[in-house]
Amino acid sequence: MDPAVTTRAQVVVVGGGPVGMLVAAELGHHGVSTVVLETNPETVDQPKAGTLHARTVQGLARRGHLRAQPAAGDGLSRRNADAFHFAGLPGLVITAPGTEPAPIYGRSQADLERDFEARARTRGVTVLRSHTVTDLVQGPDAVQVTAQGPDGVRQFTAEYVVGADGARSSVRDLLGFASETHPATVSALLGLVRLTDPYRVPSGWNRTPHGWTIAGVNPYGHSRFFTIDFRGPHPDRHAPLTLAELRSEAERILGHPVPMTDPVFFSKFNDFSRVVCDYRKGRVFLAGDAAHVHFPVGGQGLNLGLQDALNLSWKLAHTLAGTAGKDLLDTYAAERRPVARRVVDNTRAQLALMRPDPGLDPLRDLVSELLGVEGANAHLGNMISAQDTVYPARTSDGSPWEGHFLPNLPLTTADGPTDVIRLLLDGRPVLLLLGADEQAHRKQAESWSHLLRVVRAESDRQLPWDAVLVRPDGYVAWASDGGPLAGTLREWFGEP
């Protein structure tokens, strides 16, 4: 490939994991010229993340990426519930409104990546696998990206770049994004192996005086088995893990031999954590593990990254279309960075609670007791599932609802029954009119009618407002108990 030939795109996404592919699929939906550069030649099936939590499920359902159907229930009452854990302690229950899909949805990271990639390609996105980014240079109006591909060096020019290239992000390193970090204190081993005496291995989360084992025991095939050693980090983090090492560590923690064979996957990891100080440098953004890493307790990492993607992609699309308010792209970091810091903090708290120190037993007993208190259980469940996420208000006289996620409301329109999920499927902001002041709201919004979906509907719920403006990612931008609608539309979507 002639390096003098430059491929031009509006956005280059570096990294084709589930986060990068979701960004690309969403940009493709909006007609944004997008190129994905991914090092791996194909999706790799590995025992990584497989749990989608409630807020991720809700967001993906609103964008049509999941066929998750709302469960039967009486509207907004909390009738959906799934059992989970907190710091390996049983008793946590994650709930969601009855009009939403189930709060926990099992889907492998690899399957999500494949689905998002297929959707991105269908929408005109160029996906280039076996391409590794080697250089990145920002100018005032564009970003120059250099990548090594199967045919040699290639050059790309984009208006914006999204670095979704994982914990060892080359985009982050090339541009020198500063980070807040916490050093590693524990070491963990993961293997997908065949347990030849599976009935001697405790299933699930198991603490002993010497550490933890977590096992998804499959007596008929390969089991996902990992260990946590609290004596300190790996002396050599990047040395290959061997079957003998995993077997020895399992025996040390459980106190008896753990025969295993036929490994198909190994990994070492620890509790090193990072949150970059800013998610943006000029025309370059970070998302997913490139922006934040933490110990994988609670299954929150993939979810955090997918929510980054849903937040950033519509803002990039509006900016490129010329329908973005002033500093719209700056809201990405302002909204997502505090969420990442909260996840890092709660995973560090859970790991502290998991330390096999008998002196912590009273604390563990207290937390177990609190998990039996409805309010405390709901607080922790909403934290783990990101349902407590509230974005900062952009307007000083805004509604108390501004920045909150709008639950799925069953609605009736002139065309028949619908709900918030279905209204957001086309990716546009929705102005939902439910009261007597319909004409006044329409008049304020008429200058933005080219980008808004305006829906007159009725609801049998008792609502605190008669109109609400919903962002494409499902969060409330404005409600009628706040300031003028036109002012909010100008803030988010620019001058009419």
Whether the per-residue pLDDT at 17 is higher than 50: the answer is yes
- The answer to whether residues 446 and 349 belong to one domain is no
The tokens describing 317, both together, are 């699309």
Residue 322 located in a structural domain: yes
The sign of the dihedral angle between the CA atoms of 196, 200, 205, 211 is negative
More confidently predicted of 70 and 194: 194
Percent of the chain residues topping a pLDDT of 70: 97
Query: Which residues are within 8 A (CB) of 307 and not within 5 positions of it... i.e. 6 or more apart?
Result: 55, 56, 59, 336, 339, 386, 389
- Looking at residues 232-236, what average pLDDT do you find? 92
How many other C-beta atoms can be found within 10 angstroms of the C-beta atom of residue 322?
Answer: 8
- The answer to whether residues 230 and 299 belong to one domain is no
- The answer to whether residues 464 and 354 belong to one domain is no
Residue 397 located in a structural domain: no
- The answer to whether residues 262 and 294 belong to one domain is no
pLDDT of residue 1: 53
Strand residues in 210-360 grouped as ranges (E): 211-216, 223-229, 260-270, 273-276, 280-281, 284-286, 292-293
pLDDT of residue 5: 80
- The answer to whether residues 147 and 205 belong to one domain is no
The pLDDT tens digits for 24-43 are 999 999 999 999 999 999 99
CB 355 within 8 A of CB 346: no
As for how many domains the chain has, the answer is 3
CB 94 within 8 A of CB 81: yes
The pLDDT tens digits for 337-362 are 999 999 999 999 999 999 999 999 99
Whether the per-residue pLDDT at 115 is higher than 60: the answer is yes
Can you give the CATH number for the domain in which 52 is found? 3.50.50.60
- The answer to whether residues 336 and 219 belong to one domain is no
- The answer to whether residues 14 and 106 belong to one domain is yes
- The answer to whether residues 89 and 13 belong to one domain is yes
Distances (CA, A) of 45 to 5, 239, 264, 458: 34, 21, 11, 46
- The answer to whether residues 205 and 117 belong to one domain is no
- The answer to whether residues 149 and 15 belong to one domain is yes
Can you give the CATH number for the domain in which 419 is found? 3.40.30.120
Residue 393 located in a structural domain: no
55: domain range?
A: 6-179+274-384
Residue 395 located in a structural domain: no
Whether the per-residue pLDDT at 76 is higher than 50: the answer is no
The pLDDT tens digits for 379-438 are 999 999 999 999 999 887 889 999 999 999 999 999 999 999 999 999 999 999 998 889
Distance of alpha carbon 354 from alpha carbon 363, whole angstroms: 10
- The answer to whether residues 264 and 372 belong to one domain is no
Distance of alpha carbon 429 from alpha carbon 423, whole angstroms: 9
- The answer to whether residues 147 and 238 belong to one domain is no
Distances (CA, A) of 24 to 57, 359, 393, 422: 18, 49, 27, 21
The pLDDT tens digits for 366-383 are 999 999 999 999 999 999
CB 305 within 8 A of CB 19: yes
- Looking at residues 86-115, what average pLDDT do you find? 95
